[in-house]
Amino acid sequence: MAKKKDAEQSEEAAEAKGAKEVPSEPGHFPPDIHDRFEVHEWRHASAILKNDFPTEWDDLLAMLRAFELRKSWITEPGKNKSKLAIWIDQFFSKRGWVEKHFDTAIVVDESKRESPTHKVDCYKNGIAFEIEWNNKDPFFDRDLNNFRLLFDLRTVSVGIIFTRCDELQQIFNSLSRGKSYGNSTTHVGKLLPRIAGGGGGGCPIIVIGIRKALYAESI
């Protein structure tokens, strides 16, 4: 029990340090977005997105303003893909975003070695958007490594991770779904220490967390 308690305290300390080093700041997001979401950014990501990629910036704001966390998405789990992810995919696809896989390799002299990357959930014009609603938290390592590599290859200019705030656990518990959304699954508190630790390399990153204010109990 003592070891478990020490581990939990260590995790909490890491999450607090991550939140401090990847602070939630207004950046270039308008106030109404901050009222609804927890937003963190790394390496001036929102400035790059807004000024250099205005169309993709507008797409992102439109999606965030239309988004609401439906009760049915929590109580009625999806099959291969969550209903939340399907909604986002459909919204972005109408604006030209696609699921994207990159074929990458390292060539030294005449020797070629495949260096595969994981597919990006939604991609448009150098902007990569990943949805991590309820996966095991090592999926964050995969996403950040993907951003790092694709940024170094000048294929991704900004990486965005859309996940849930820690405070949603109260809603999950009230719906008797708490065990399905445990502490070892993807949420903001698990992501920020990884970014602060350099997991994304030099890639500018935006983290968007779903707050309780977005919960729609009637649908």
Residue range 7-34, pLDDT digits in tens? 444 455 545 554 556 656 667 999 999 9
What amino acid occupies position 88?
A: I
Partners of 37 in beta bridges: 210
Percent of the chain, pLDDT > 90?
66
The answer to whether residues 130 and 186 touch, using CB atoms and an 8 Å cutoff, is no
Residue range 66-119, pLDDT digits in tens? 999 999 999 886 677 899 999 999 999 999 999 998 877 666 666 656 656 678
- CA–CA separation, 94 vs 96, rounded Å? 6
From the list 140, 131, 128, the residue with the least C-alpha distance to 18 is: 140
In terms of pTM, does the model score above 0.95?
no
Q: How confident is the model at residue 189 (pLDDT cuts 50, 70, 90)?
A: very high
What amino acid occupies position 91?
A: F
The answer to whether residues 55 and 125 touch, using CB atoms and an 8 Å cutoff, is yes
Domains of the chain by start residue, with CATH: 31-216 (3.40.91.20)
From the list 184, 189, 180, 185, the residue with the least C-alpha distance to 207 is: 189
Cβ-based neighbour number of residue 194 at 10 Å: 21
pLDDT at 33: 96
- CA–CA separation, 167 vs 18, rounded Å? 17
